Structure formats: structure tokens, C-alpha cells
Amino acid sequence: MKAATWTGVNEVSVEEVPEPQLLNDHDVILKVKQSVTCGSDLHLLGGYIPFMRAGDVLGHEFIGEIVEAGPAVRHRKVGDRVVGAPFAACGNCWYCKQEQYSLCDNGNANPGITEGLWGQSPGGCLGYSHAMGGYAGSHAEYIRVPYADVGTFVVPEGISDTRALFASDAASTGWMGADLAGTKPGDVVAVWGAGGVGQMAARAAMLLGAEQVVVVDRLPERLQQVREHVGAETIDYSSTDVLAELRERTGGRGPDVCIEAVGMEAHSSGAAGVYDQVKQQLRLQTDRPTALREAVMACRKGGSIFTLGVFAAMVDKFPLGALMNKGITLRGAQVHAQRYIPELLERMERGELTTEHLATHVLPLSEAPRGYRMFKEKEDGCVRAVFTPGS
């Protein structure tokens, strides 16, 4: 079959690869209908998470049809149209029972690598490097999904493929950020990053009752989408002093909840930007935490911050003093998609949550290299490139 693979730093190819097989009794094989690029892939692509092997199949946000099911699969059947969760979660360990699915104890067959990095191993993620379990991803005609009763969700008929696709990751990640940061009615919420994840976090905050939601980015077409499709306010950080603006818009308090949806490759200008670039290149820090620093400084006293943006290891000049003295709560997580997908599909069906606008570029799988280039360089207003392997 055809698949989009990582073949080196900043190099995506389309290759002929073997079809996946059922490896465990709880597996299904999906025929992929749509599979989308995610900001997390950019960190892999750029070599910031150095556990990719040339030839690895990318992709972890997808919708497809079940074409084969293992003997232990009870609640899904051949022919079901399903969205898949990015993380492989067994559903039976203590973490899964707490609905912390991305922390599943039994989802990563290579735990030694992540224990080496972080002291403990989170779960495994499809198409996300050998550190995260070495699973082949969804930018392919077929994908194997382990623990399918837990990790796939039947999509109600009324929801289009493209809307449902984003329940897989962008929408569930955004929802998780707003939810686990403790967003409640009356809150002011600021979101850094107007990509798929940031936009969905902003929408979630609104649906959870936030009084005011402000999204920070510099790309005009994305900020435009935020105003038009999400209904939140925006700040263009390239022309506005973000901290001053947020203070002015919040009666001098700062946001109650700050959601960081930018990650380790944050863009920044001026001296701080140069400093971070140099440090990263000299390997004195692995990640550029520009947006996270800003969130710590912006956040109101006693407020909460959630980092949805992916970080790999070390950051420098982290304002821990501000965090501690202002009594801020900082949390982060990889997506517990299994916890949120059912509710998101219901909201999608009711029309409360729309995602189609994120799919700015729908391309055949053969154009994956171009799709990734446009997504990485944010060319032609690309917010997400969606591949359609079946077509």
C-alpha cells in the first residue's frame, strides 16, 4: 500500500509499504478515509524528537472504516465508520480507569526509552516515533489500531468525515486543555496559538461557559478564522504588546485560565528569540518555551495554565519564581482523547462544534510531501492538510 513516511529531517516521502496485520486480539485494521497533519508532526519532522527511523509512517489523527477485527474485539465490527484516538490505551489499567488514557501503562512496547527521558513512560501514540511505541501511523491506506474497543469510536451518520476527523486529536486536545485547566462560567481564558489545537481550545472554553476568550497568534488568516468560526477575540502578537493588551482587556487582573497551544518550536522575535534559537542549536535547551513563559507572566494570581503544546525535554529561562510566588497551577498532558471523543461527537452532531474550516487543504496521499511543506511553512493560509488515502 501507499504511505507517507518520514525519511529524514524535514523530508516526507510517499513510499510503497507492506499492509498492516492484526498483531493482537484487540486490534482492528482500518481502511483510512482521511488523515490529517498535526502540529505535533512538525516536531518529529524537524528532528526535535530524535526517535524517528527513516521509513516510519506518519499520522495519528484519522477516520476510517473497519475492515478486519481481532477475535477479542467486542463492541466494533467490520464496516463501522470510526475515528481513532491517537494514543493506544488498554482500558484496563489504573490510569485508563482514571480516564487518563494517554498515560496508559500498557500502550507502549518501548517503555525503556521514555523512562530514560522522563523517569516514567506515558502511553504509546500511533505514528509518533519509537519513543512512543513504534506504531505505524495513519497517513496510509490502512492502519492497525490496538485496543480497538477503547480507541475507536463509531461516528453517527449525520456527521461528515471531515468534521468527525478532528474529534480524533485537535478537538479532543483543545477540549482537554480547557477542561483540565478548570475553565468555569465567568472565566477569562487566553489561548496561545491559533492552529487547530488552539482554535479548538478556545471553542471548548466558550462552550464551558467562559465569559471572554482571547486567542494570541500572528498569522492573519488564522486569527480571522478564530473570529469567524470560533467566535473568540484575537491578539496579533507581531503588532501588539500581548501582556499589556491582556491586562487592559481584563481589568488589570490577567486571564484566569491560560492555555498554551504552541509547543516547543514557538516563534519569537527580538533578543529573546535569538537567545532561544542559539541555545536550541547548541543543544543547551531542547525546546523553545516562548509562549509558555508569556503565559506565566500574563496569568492572574492564583490562575491556572495548561500546556497542550508538546515539549520534549529541557527549557531555559523558565519563570519558576513567577509561577511559585503568584500561586499558579501549571499542568500539561498528551491527549486523553478517549475521554472526550464521545461528547465531542454529540456536540458535532448538534452543530455546536464545527471543524471543517480547519481543513484548508484536502489532498490525495500522494501529495503528502507538499501538504507537509505547506503546513510547516503556513503557506497559502494552510491550517491543516488533510490526506484522503482512499481517493
Partner 1 sequence: MPLPKILARAAGLATEAGSGALQQLQHLRLPGVGQSSVTDDPDTAARRWRAVTVLADLEQLRAETPEPLARFGDRLEVRVTPAPGGRGAELAARFRSPVTEEELGELRSALREAKQRIETGEVLRNEPQPHGHRKQTPQGEALDGMVERAPKEGVL
Ligand X SMILES: NC(=O)c1ccc[n+]([C@@H]2O[C@H](COP(=O)([O-])OP(=O)(O)OC[C@H]3O[C@@H](n4cnc5c(N)ncnc54)[C@H](O)[C@@H]3O)[C@@H](O)[C@H]2O)c1
Residue 291 lies near ligand X (rule: CB under 6 A): yes
Q: Which residue has the cell 521509513?
A: 55
Residue 117 lies near partner 1 (rule: CB under 8 A): yes
Rounded to whole angstroms, the Cα distance separating 222 from 215 reads 10
Helix axes 196-207, 170-180, angle to 10 degrees: 50
- 3-class DSSP state of 362: strand
* Residue 311: CB minimum distance to partner 1, A: 11
| Cα 242–chain centre separation | 24
How wide is the angle at C-alpha 240 spanned by C-alphas 203 and 302, nearest 5°? Answer: 60
Site string for ligand X, 186-215 (x = CB under 6 A): ------xxxxxxx-----------------
Residue 94 lies near partner 1 (rule: CB under 8 A): yes
Strand ranges for 240-289 from DSSP E: 257-260
- Which of 222, 279, 347, 361 forms a contact with ligand X (CB under 6 A)? 222
| Cα 17–chain centre separation | 26
Choose from ligand X, partner 1, Zn ion, none: what does 17 bind? Cβ within 5-8 Å by kind. partner 1
Rounded to whole angstroms, the Cα distance separating 192 from 200 reads 12
Binding residues among 232-261 for ligand X as defined by CB under 6 A: 237, 261
- Which of 30, 32, 38, 382 forms a contact with Zn ion (CB under 5 A)? 38
Q: Please report which residue ranges of 264-331 form alpha helices under DSSP H.
A: 270-281, 290-298, 320-325
- Which of 10, 75, 99, 109 forms a contact with partner 1 (CB under 8 A)? 109
Closest CB to Zn ion among 80 and 169?
169
- Which of 36, 136, 188, 216 forms a contact with ligand X (CB under 6 A)? 216
Amino acid at the residue 103 = L
Rounded to whole angstroms, the Cα distance separating 379 from 288 reads 22
Contact yes or no for 271/222 (Cβ under 8 A): no
- Which of 5, 34, 37, 40 forms a contact with Zn ion (CB under 5 A)? 40
Residue 171 lies near Zn ion (rule: CB under 5 A): no
What sign does the CA torsion over 296, 300, 302, 303 have? negative
**Binding window for partner 1 (CB under 8 A); candidates: 133-141, 213-221, 234-242, 333-341:** 133-141
C-alpha cell at 262: 504552541
Indicate the DSSP class of residue 8: E
- Which of 10, 46, 67, 72 forms a contact with partner 1 (CB under 8 A)? 72
Largest CA distance in the chain: 60
Residue 99 lies near partner 1 (rule: CB under 8 A): no
Residues lying near partner 1 in the complex (CB under 8 A) are found at 1, 3, 5, 7-8, 13, 15-21, 23-26, 50-57, 72, 88, 90, 92-94, 97, 105-107, 109-113, 115-121, 124, 130, 133-136, 140, 142, 144, 146-147, 283-284, 286, 312-314
Residues lying near Zn ion in the complex (CB under 5 A) are found at 38, 40, 89-90, 93, 96, 104, 106, 169
